[in-house]
C-alpha cells in the first residue's frame, strides 16, 4: 500500500517561500482534494513529490522512498501535471508507447489505457490536433500506463466542458474505489465538494486545513437559512431579538444563522408573518474556503 | 543541500540487493531508456525532415561547388596544382551540413522543454543521468550514420563531377582519402553531440542554435582578432583546426589532423559534462 507523506516541506525560490513547512498525508482508497487559491504552492508541492523539483527543506516520499529512488516509477505513481506536456507532432500511440517502453511495460498496456480513456479511435492521430479534453485523457492514459497505486492530478478539470468534467470526476472516484491513493488539486471548491473525501487546504504555501470533507463543511460553512418574506425589515428585527444573526440575502430575502428553520418557522407563526420561502442552505464549500483563505490570497482584487 | 538530489557518483542502476520483485514486475535497464528515446526520435516527422534536409542541402552544395571546381585546377599555377585536394574539395559541404545536423541534436533535448514533455519524461525516468545518456547515445548514433552517409555520397558525387571535367580525382583507396571521409562523418557526429550538450544547457532551441552558430561560424570568422595566447585553442576549434581531418593534402599548420579532431572531442566532452551536471540539479 503506498501512501504519500509530505513532511515539513519547504521550497524557496530566492526570497520567495512558495511552500512553507507543509506536512500532510495522502491515504489510499480515497480522493484527497488539494485546495488553495492560485499561487498557493499546489503545483510546486506536486512537482516536488514527483522528483521534478528539489525541496529546500523537508521531504515528500512515497511509502518511505523518494520518487527518484523508485525502480519502476510508472508502476507505482501516475501523474497528470500538465495536459499540454506532449509533443504536438507525435502520435498519441507513439507517445504512450515510448513511455511504456521506458518502464519495461508491455505494448498491450498502451492499448488498455487507450481503451480505458476512450482514445482508441484517435490513437494514430498527432496530439497537436487534440482538443483540451482529449489531451487531458491522453495525460490520464499515460498516468495509468503502469497501473499505479498512487495517482496525482494537477487541476485536471481546468478548461474542460461539463461532459469532460463529469467524466474526470467519475473517473477519479472509480480509481479511489479500486483502492488507489488519489491526490487531485484544484482551486474550484465546488468541484472538490463532489469529488474529494478528504481535504488538504493550503494558502501561501502553508497548511490551513487537513480534514475530512464532511467535517470541513460542518465546521466551516453550515447552518444558514434563507427566509423570504414581504415583511423582511420587521421580521429581521424580531429574528435579531430572538438571538439570530441576519444578513441581507438576494432581494428581498434574509440569510439567517444561529437559528434552525424550525425555530424560524415557529417565530414567524407566533408573529403572524407570512413566509414566502424558508429553506436551509447547503453549506457552501466555496464560502468556507473564502473564509479560510481570505488572508492568504496572493493578489487580492480591490472590493468595489 | 537538497534532499531529493543524490550525491554524484552514486550508482544509477537499481541495486542488486533490493527486495525481490513480484513476478511480472518489469525491471528497467538502460536498454529500455535507450529504446524509448529511439521511439521518440523516430516518431517525429521533424527528425526525418531534418535528415532529408541534411542530404539535400549537403549534396546540393557539393553539386554546386564541384561543378566548376575543375577550372581552379586547369587554370591554376604549379603550386596550386600541387595542393590540389579533390577528396577534401568534395567534402567542404560539411560547413553547412554541421549546422543541419546540430539542429537534430539540439531538438532532441529542447523540443521536450518547449512542449513540457521533459516533465513527463522525467517522471517516467527519474534517474536523470540515464535519460540524458540515452538521448546522447541515440542522437549521436543517428548523427553518425547520417554523417557517414552524407560524407560518402558527397565524396562519390564530387569525384563523379570532377571526372566529367577531366581533372584528377580521388579514389577511396588513395592515401588519406578513406580517413578523410570517415573522419568527416565522425566530425559531424561530434558536432551533433555538442548540440545535445548546448541544448541541455540552454533548454531553448533559439539560444542553443545561436550559440552553436557562434561556435562553428562566428568565432572562426573573427579568430584573427583574438589575442595570441588564445590562438592555440583554434587548432582544436570546429571549422578551424579540427576540420583539418577533411583534407588529404597535409596542411603544414595541422600535421596530425586526428589530433586536432581529438582535441575538439575533448572540448565537447567538457560541454557534455557540464550538461550532465546541470541536468541533474535543475528543477523542471
- For A64-82, the pLDDT digits (tens) are 899 999 999 999 999 999 8
Average pLDDT value for residue range A86-100: 95
Task: Name, in order, each residue with C-beta under 8 angstroms of B194's C-beta and a sequence gap of 6 or more.
Answer: B102, B105, B212, B215, B238, B268, B271
For residue B6, the chain A residue with the least C-alpha distance is A68
Residue B130 covered by a domain: yes
Q: How many domains does chain B have?
A: 1
Please check the confidence at residue A107 and state whether its pLDDT lies above 70. Answer: yes
Average pLDDT value for residue range B98-104: 96
> Which pLDDT belongs to residue B7?
42
Residue B5 covered by a domain: no
ipTM of the complex: 0.85
pLDDT band at B72 (very low <50, low <70, confident <90, very high): confident
- Among the ranges given (A248-257, B223-232, B270-279), the one the predictor scored with the smallest mean pLDDT: A248-257
Query: What does pTM read for this prediction?
Result: 0.84
Residue B12 covered by a domain: no
> Which pLDDT belongs to residue A85?
86
Range of the domain at B47: 30-281
Please check the confidence at residue B104 and state whether its pLDDT lies above 80. Answer: yes
Residue B25 covered by a domain: no
Question: Measured between alpha carbons, how far is A227 from B276 in angstroms, rounded to an integer?
Answer: 67
The answer to whether residues B116 and A88 touch, using CB atoms and an 8 Å cutoff, is no
Residue A91 DSSP class: B
> Which pLDDT belongs to residue A285?
63
Nearest CA-CA distance, residue A126 and chain B, Å: 10
Please check the confidence at residue B15 and state whether its pLDDT lies above 80. Answer: no
Average pLDDT value for residue range B75-91: 89
Residue B168 covered by a domain: yes
Contact list, B122 vs chain A (CB under 8 Å):
51-52
Cell numbers describing residue B185 = 562523418
pLDDT band at B20 (very low <50, low <70, confident <90, very high): very low
Residue B199 covered by a domain: yes
Mean pLDDT of chain B: 89
> Which pLDDT belongs to residue B27?
79
pLDDT band at A112 (very low <50, low <70, confident <90, very high): very high
Of B145 and A168, more confident: B145
For residue A53, the chain B residue with the least C-alpha distance is B283
Of A167 and B202, more confident: B202
> Which pLDDT belongs to residue B200?
97
Please check the confidence at residue B73 and state whether its pLDDT lies above 60. Answer: yes
B26 touches chain A (CB under 8 A): yes
Residue B3 covered by a domain: no
For residue A304, CA distances in Å to A164, A250, A301 come to 35, 18, 9
- Among the ranges given (A44-58, A257-271, B59-73, B182-196), the one the predictor scored with the smallest mean pLDDT: A257-271
Residue B81 covered by a domain: yes
- Among the ranges given (B18-32, B47-61, B117-131), the one the predictor scored with the smallest mean pLDDT: B18-32
pLDDT band at B22 (very low <50, low <70, confident <90, very high): low
pLDDT, tens only, B154-188: 999 999 999 999 888 999 999 899 999 999 999 99
> Which pLDDT belongs to residue B4?
42
> Which pLDDT belongs to residue A281?
75
Output the CA torsion B94→B97→B102→B103 (10° steps): 170
Q: Indicate the burial class of B161 (C-beta count within 10 angstroms; 0-12, 13-18, 19 or more).
A: buried
Report strand pairing: A31-35 vs A198-203. Answer: parallel
Which helix (H) or strand (E) segment holds residue B280: the answer is helix B257-281
Residues in A 99-158 with any Cβ partner in B closer than 8 A: 99, 101-105, 142
Residues in B 255-284 with any Cβ partner in A closer than 8 A: 281, 283-284
Residues in B 68-127 with any Cβ partner in A closer than 8 A: 111-112, 115-117, 119-127
Amino acid at each position: 500500500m503506498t501512501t504519500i507523506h509530505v513532511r515539513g516541506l519547504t521550497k524557496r525560490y530566492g526570497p520567495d517561500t512558495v511552500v512553507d513547512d507543509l506536512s500532510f498525508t495522502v491515504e489510499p482508497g480515497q480522493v484527497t482534494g488539494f485546495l488553495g487559491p492560485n499561487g498557493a504552492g499546489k503545483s510546486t508541492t506536486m512537482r516536488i513529490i514527483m522528483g521534478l523539483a528539489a525541496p529546500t527543506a523537508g521531504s515528500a516520499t512515497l511509502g518511505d522512498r523518494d520518487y527518484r529512488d523508485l525502480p519502476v516509477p510508472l508502476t507505482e505513481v501516475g501523474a497528470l501535471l500538465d495536459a499540454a506536456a506532449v509533443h504536438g507532432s507525435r502520435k498519441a500511440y507513439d507517445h504512450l508507447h515510448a513511455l511504456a517502453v521506458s518502464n519495461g511495460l508491455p505494448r498491450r498496456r498502451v492499448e488498455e489505457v487507450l481503451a480505458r480513456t476512450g482514445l482508441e479511435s484517435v490513437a494514430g492521430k498527432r496530439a497537436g490536433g487534440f482538443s483540451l479534453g482529449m489531451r487531458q485523457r491522453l495525460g490520464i492514459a499515460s498516468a495509468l500506463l503502469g497501473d499505479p497505486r498512487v495517482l496525482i492530478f494537477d487541476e485536471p478539470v481546468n478548461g474542460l466542458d461539463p461532459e469532460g468534467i463529469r467524466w474526470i470526476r467519475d473517473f477519479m472516484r472509480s480509481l479511489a474505489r479500486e483502492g488507489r491513493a488519489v491526490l487531485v488539486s484544484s482551486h474550484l471548491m465546488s468541484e472538490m465538494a463532489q469529488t474529494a473525501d478528504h481535504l488538504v487546504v493550503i494558502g501561501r504555501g502553508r497548511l490551513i486545513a487537513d480534514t475530512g470533507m464532511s467535517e470541513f463543511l460542518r465546521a466551516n460553512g453550515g447552518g444558514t437559512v434563507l427566509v423570504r418574506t414581504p415583511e423582511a425589515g420587521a421580521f429581521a428585527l424580531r429574528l435579531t431579538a430572538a438571538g439570530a444573526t441576519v444578513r441581507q440575502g438576494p432581494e428581498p430575502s434574509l440569510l439567517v444563522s444561529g437559528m434552525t428553520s424550525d425555530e424560524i418557522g415557529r417565530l414567524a407563526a407566533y408573529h403572524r408573518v407570512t413566509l414566502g420561502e424558508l429553506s436551509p442552505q447547503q453549506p457552501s464549500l466555496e464560502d468556507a474556503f473564502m473564509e479560510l483563505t481570505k488572508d492568504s490570497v496572493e493578489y487580492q482584487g480591490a472590493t468595489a | 543541500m537538497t534532499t531529493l538530489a543524490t550525491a554524484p557518483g552514486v550508482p544509477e542502476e537499481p541495486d542488486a540487493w533490493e527486495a525481490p520483485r513480484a513476478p511480472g514486475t518489469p525491471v528497467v535497464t538502460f536498454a529500455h531508456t535507450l529504446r524509448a528515446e529511439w521511439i521518440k526520435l523516430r516518431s517525429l516527422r521533424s527528425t526525418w525532415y531534418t535528415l532529408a534536409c541534411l542530404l539535400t542541402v549537403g549534396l546540393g552544395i557539393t553539386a554546386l561547388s564541384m561543378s566548376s571546381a575543375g577550372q581552379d585546377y586547369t587554370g591554376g599555377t604549379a603550386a596550386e596544382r600541387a595542393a590540389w585536394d579533390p577528396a577534401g574539395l568534395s567534402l567542404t559541404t560539411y560547413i553547412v551540413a554541421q549546422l543541419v545536423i546540430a539542429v537534430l541534436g539540439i531538438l532532441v533535448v529542447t523540443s521536450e522543454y518547449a512542449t513540457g514533455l521533459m516533465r513527463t519524461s522525467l517522471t517516467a525516468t527519474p534517474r536523470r543521468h540515464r535519460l540524458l545518456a540515452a538521448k546522447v547515445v541515440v542522437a549521436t548514433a543517428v548523427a553518425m550514420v547520417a554523417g557517414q552517409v552524407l560524407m560518402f555520397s558527397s565524396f562519390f558525387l564530387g569525384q563523379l563531377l570532377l571526372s566529367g571535367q577531366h581533372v584528377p580525382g580521388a579514389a577511396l583507396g588513395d592515401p588519406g582519402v578513406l580517413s578523410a571521409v570517415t573522419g568527416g562523418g565522425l566530425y559531424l557526429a561530434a558536432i551533433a553531440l555538442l548540440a545535445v550538450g548546448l541544448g541541455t544547457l540552454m533548454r531553448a532551441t533559439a539560444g542553443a542554435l545561436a550559440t552553436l552558430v557562434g561556435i562553428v561560424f562566428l568565432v572562426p570568422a573573427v579568430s584573427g582578432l583574438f589575442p595570441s595566447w588564445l590562438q592555440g585553442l583554434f587548432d582544436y576549434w570546429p571549422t578551424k583546426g579540427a576540420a583539418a581531418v577533411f583534407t588529404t593534402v597535409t596542411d603544414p599548420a595541422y600535421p596530425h589532423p586526428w589530433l586536432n579532431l581529438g582535441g575538439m572531442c575533448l572540448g565537447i566532452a567538457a560541454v557534455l559534462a557540464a550538461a550532465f551536471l546541470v541536468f541533474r540539479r535543475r528543477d523542471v
